[in-house]
Amino acid sequence: MSQRQVSPFAFVGGAAAFLLTMLGTTLPTPLYPIYRDAFGFSQLTITVIFAAYAVGVIGALLVTGRWSDQLGRRPLLLAGLAASVLSDAVFLLGGSLPLLLIARVISGVSAGIFTGTATVAVIELAPEAWKRRATFVATAVNMGGLGLGPVCAGLLGEYAPWPLHLPYALHLALAVLGVLAVWRAPETVERPPRPRLEFQRLSVPESVRGVFVPAAIAGFAGFAVLGFFTATVPAFMKQVLGQTNLALIGLVAGVVFFASTLGQWLQGRVDAAWRLPLGCAVMLVGALTIGAGIALASLATFLCGALIAGLGQGVAFRAGLGALAAASPAAHRGAVTSTFFVVAYVALSIPVVGIGLVSRTIGLAATGVGFSGAVALLCCVALVLLWRTGGQGGVKG
């Protein structure tokens, strides 16, 4: 498709659809205390509900990761929006644990489809004058949407009626507008006569493993922090920090994503060889600060830790992806990137389930401090590996 055919409205519409879809995936975060009180869920049950989301994301990434090249961007984006709408509908019906689990899996499917397809689509839809900023726009609407979800749901949950229904009803209406925006956008790939729908392979060539291992460890640590803030922060805010205002809970949960967006923007101003080590170091400081905030029961310290950790996660995440793209042969780049994302989304789920399990034995505060220490340790391991291999796993420049 010629770049002259691209309308700025198509670019804005595609970016808006991306933001709205990701916003919907984090709407439940500040509402978990209401679910807990209404249905008698334990903290472990809440973390399992959240982890179901990661199952949907990983499944969608593996199954549909390469389909947009064969079927086109628009059909996959419409499928992702359809999953988002269906998730909202199930949440509106949700009066039981099975329905909430189903809703979270479907929400994860919508995110998994959009994570890969919409990022590429937004870049391809950018008019020529906006091309240089298109990658950051795609990143910003992704993380920005994830951050806006808990903020919006927290405000509605605290100050509006029907807290377990209104956020999803409003998002459903907005998702319909996203469908219209994607429907009107031009297709950016030429569909082959005989599409081949294959699963995304997972593999890391031996020549890339020196780069992959520290990047994956840093990615695991960063996404574990994101999972912590989207799944367990409501419990820590209420039981450890004594805060019950849902708007404040949503704001604290959203801050880490906003800081990540800022970090991804700032990392371009740092020399390439220093980006991943710097991200790990900042994330290390953030994790320790989060742990201190929990140990001291200090909201200000806890929030400061969220800002620092989110900033480091953003720097490390984008730097890791950049290092992998530079180190991977073209024929293996998709498989390596997909493997990296699977590691990241495993980190989004497994640690928070661990928090739910361990907290039943030693308490929530001690578990939170231990989690922060584990993240800090992972950052140290990544830094040692980077030091031994000279920067980004040996990739410089």
% of the chain beyond a pLDDT of 90:
65
DSSP H or E stretch at residue 83:
helix 73-93
The per-residue pLDDT for range 232-260, each reduced to its tens digit, is 999 999 999 999 999 999 999 999 999 99
Question: Which candidate, 154, 182, 224, places its Cα nearest to that of 19?
Answer: 182
Give me the pLDDT at residue 6, please.
62
Q: What was the pLDDT predicted at 148?
A: 97
Over the stretch 50-79, which tens digit does the pLDDT of each residue have? 999 999 999 998 888 888 888 889 999 999
CA 378 to chain centre: 19
Instruction: Extract the tokens encoding 265.
Output: 């923007």
Q: What is the pLDDT of residue 2?
A: 41
Q: Which residue has the higher pLDDT, 396 or 6?
A: 6
- In the 8-state DSSP scheme, what is residue 1? -
- In b/e form, how buried is each residue of 275-309, taking b as 16+ CB within 10 angstroms? bbbbbbbbbbbbbbbbbbbbbeebbebbbbbbbbb
Q: Where residue 223 falls among pLDDT bands split at 50, 70, 90? A: very high
Burial 39-49 (b: 16+ CB within 10 A, else e): eebebebbbbb
How would DSSP label each residue in 303-317? HHHHHHHHHHHHHHH
Percent of the chain with pLDDT over 70: 96
* Cβ burial, residue 331 (10 Å; 0-12/13-18/19+): exposed
Highest mean pLDDT among 122-131, 197-206, 293-302: 293-302
3-state class (DSSP) for residue 10: helix
Q: How far apart are CA 268 and CA 345, in angstroms?
A: 24
Span 181-198, pLDDT tens digits? 999 888 888 888 888 888
Domains in the chain and their CATH numbers? 1-189 (1.20.1250.20), 202-397 (1.20.1250.20)
pLDDT at 364: 95
Strand partners, 395: 392
Angle between helices 272-296 and 299-327 (to 10 degrees): 150
Phi, psi dihedral angles at 394 (to 5 degrees) = 95, -5
Instruction: Fill in the DSSP letter of residue 392.
Output: B
Q: Taking all residues of the chain, what is their mean pLDDT, rounded to a whole number?
A: 90
Q: How far apart are CA 112 and CA 57, in angstroms?
A: 4
Share of the chain residues as helix, strand and coil, in percent rounded to the nearest 5: 85, 0, 15
For residue 195, what pLDDT is reported?
Answer: 82
**DSSP H stretches of helix in 40-72:** 43-64, 67-71
Statement: residue 207 has pLDDT above 90? no
The whole-angstrom separation of Cα 370 and Cα 196 is 47
Among 30-34, 38-42, 172-176, the least confident range: 38-42
Over residues 126-131, the mean pLDDT reads: 82
Residue 4 has pLDDT above 80, yes or no: no
**Across the strands, what pairs with 392?**
395
Contact present, 30 and 250 (Cβ < 8 Å): yes
